[in-house]
Chain A
Amino acid sequence: MAPVATPFFFYLFAAIMLIGGIAVITRKNPVHSALALIVTLLAQASIYLMLYAPFVAGVQIILYAGGIMVLFLFVIMLVSIDRSIRERQFNSQWVVGVIAATALGGLFVAVYTKGRDIFPEHALPVVENDNTQKIATMLYGQYMFAFEIASLLLLVAIIGAVVMAKKRI
């Protein structure tokens, strides 16, 4: 079976991601921004698929569809769209932004030029058929402690939200 992960698809999804990302910050209407964000994240899920990581792609779709959903609701309920359209979008911190962007770009260029030493010589063997099972054994075997710590953190966040939202518990 011919591989799907051709350069054409990589450039296609990368372009969709870039356009979506730019639209997120340039759209004046916050709802449109949220929609552009979900386009970006779905394109990212496709790139995970191209890297033969179907489980990560599936989880990306489920989590971000739900996450953006909530963001969407916040926008609808909390932001006055009439006012936000008239607001000025970019403030005077652009100098900091430019410095950060240059640093990140420099990092990318450095990785690209010195990549030979950092990355493995050959592409890793593809574990497409039991990808999910591999992730499961990793997550609940080798990285069990880190996984549980992360879930504990989330629990703390939930409790914090409940405490802040409820006056009397």
Chain B
Amino acid sequence: MHEILQYISGYLTSDKTPGAAGNMFWALVYIMLVFGGLSVAVIAMNWLERKILAHMQVRLGPMRVGPHGLLQPIADAIKLLLKEDIMPAEADGFVFWMAPLIVVLAAFTVFVVVPFGPTHAITDMNIGILFMLGVSSLSVLGIVMAGWASNSHYPLIGALRSSAQMVSYEVAMGLAVVSAILMTSLNATGTGTLSMIGIVQAQQAQGEWFIFKFFPLGLIAFFIFAVAMVAETNRAPFDLAEAESELTAGFHTEYSGFRWSLFFLAEYSAMIAVSSIAVTLWLGGWLRPFPNWLSGSPWDQIFSFFPGVTFLFFAAICFFNTVRMPKHPLFRIQTIGLAGFGVVLGLIGLILFYPPISAWVQDIFWFSAKVAGFMYMYIWYRGTFPRYRFDQLMQMGWKVLLPMGLGVLILTASVALLQEKIWHP
């Protein structure tokens, strides 16, 4: 018993990820925390997307289930679980059954290496970014399997479109990633790294996020990645694979109930995964904004209040809307519910002000906040851009992004060489 306790508490003093420290217990705890957090994020994203899209189109969005539709995602989840799970008679049973599993596994496995902080990752791999790109590319396979196994026209066309799109944009994406990895080799040691934690530490050591490095080269590479990642996750404006007006729902037309909800889960967690790649490579991962301009301990102190302030802000929004709720007796439960939600958020915010905890969540907060910014951009794109035509999509991928990516890669390498050999020999 004592040994087990020692094993568990032994990790707390180490400064490694649980995977690197080889501590099974904390690795399991981290896995559960990450996947629990991810599921909550997907649920929240579901609600936020409908709400934000609705407000962009001057609608109200979900309003009926719970105050301001807050319980809508839970209602949806229950509906999907209770729905009949239909498998078409002519479908290829085994492949039809495997497809959603592969997509979900690929989308969730990548989070093993996502660095929420210098020690807040499940593990740190020597090949981190390569692992993320490789495993997430397996999800294309699941999509094509789903489309083919449904044995129906729309899913097949959707799957073929999706695979063509993903294979083409992966090239541009890879080139953008390589140019960022190239920048990691410009520190004192002279060798680069593929490890996700190492990439952020390289940005810290060079005192510069890679988006600002060799301006505008880092920015262009980031832009290429930001476009390619939307295409890679099959989201608007590149959602030809599930173009409702042409293909009903694309590759998952024949899926229903729980299996469909797996595709939904995978789509959103893949969005979070690619956003966290972008945050790690170009936006400094867990590092707080303005590390150079606003440096020093008073600024550190001020920035450490941010997590608490954010939650208090959410709580304030809740209370503001509680006051604005209709005064009719039928709305009493909803009003109480909203006030209770506000109280919970406020309490979380207050806990986050407590110095040890605020120091502990600092990295996680900044990482999540940056990823949340990307998630908002996804919704914004969907509310703004019309869908591309397929030939425009291919032209964009092969004739615009790919040459741009190659150019940026060559220029980055040349500038890096010049810097090393001529400016700072």
A interface, CB within 8 angstroms of B: 1-2, 29, 31-32, 35, 38, 54-55, 57-59, 61-62, 65-66, 68-70, 72-73, 76-77, 128-133, 136
**How far is B170's CA from A2's CA once the two chains are assembled, in angstroms?**
36
Contact (Cβ within 8 A) A59 B22: no
Contact (Cβ within 8 A) B126 A69: no
Contact (Cβ within 8 A) B191 A54: no
Known: A62-B134, A69-B141, A72-B144. A54 touches B126 (CB 8 A): yes
Please tell me if B339 contacts chain A, counting CB pairs below 8 Å: no
Please tell me if B148 contacts chain A, counting CB pairs below 8 Å: yes
Contact (Cβ within 8 A) A58 B170: no
Contact (Cβ within 8 A) B130 A58: yes
Contact (Cβ within 8 A) A73 B134: no
Known: A1-B22, A58-B131. A70 touches B141 (CB 8 A): no
Contact (Cβ within 8 A) B144 A73: yes
Please tell me if B127 contacts chain A, counting CB pairs below 8 Å: yes
**How far is B163's CA from A132's CA once the two chains are assembled, in angstroms?**
29
Contact (Cβ within 8 A) B134 A38: no
Please tell me if B145 contacts chain A, counting CB pairs below 8 Å: yes
**Number of B positions contacting A (CB below 8 A):** 30
B137: A residues at CB distance < 8 A: 61-62, 65-66
Question: Nearest A residue to B145 by beta-carbon distance?
Answer: A35
Contact (Cβ within 8 A) A76 B148: yes
Give the contacting residue for B141; candidates A54, A72, A76, A130; CB below 8 A.
A72
Please tell me if B160 contacts chain A, counting CB pairs below 8 Å: yes
Question: Nearest B residue to A68 by beta-carbon distance?
Answer: B141
Contact (Cβ within 8 A) B126 A70: no
Please tell me if B262 contacts chain A, counting CB pairs below 8 Å: no
Question: How far in angstroms is the closest Cβ of chain A from B191?
Answer: 5
In chain B, positions 132-163 with a C-beta closer than 8 Å to chain A are 133-135, 137-138, 140-141, 144-145, 148, 156, 160, 163
A76: B residues at CB distance < 8 A: 144, 148, 156, 160
Give the contacting residue for A73; candidates B21, B135, B163; CB below 8 A.
B163
A1: B residues at CB distance < 8 A: 21-22
Contact (Cβ within 8 A) A62 B144: no
Q: Mark B157-193, 1 if CB is under 8 A from A, else 0.
A: 0001001000100100000000000000000000111
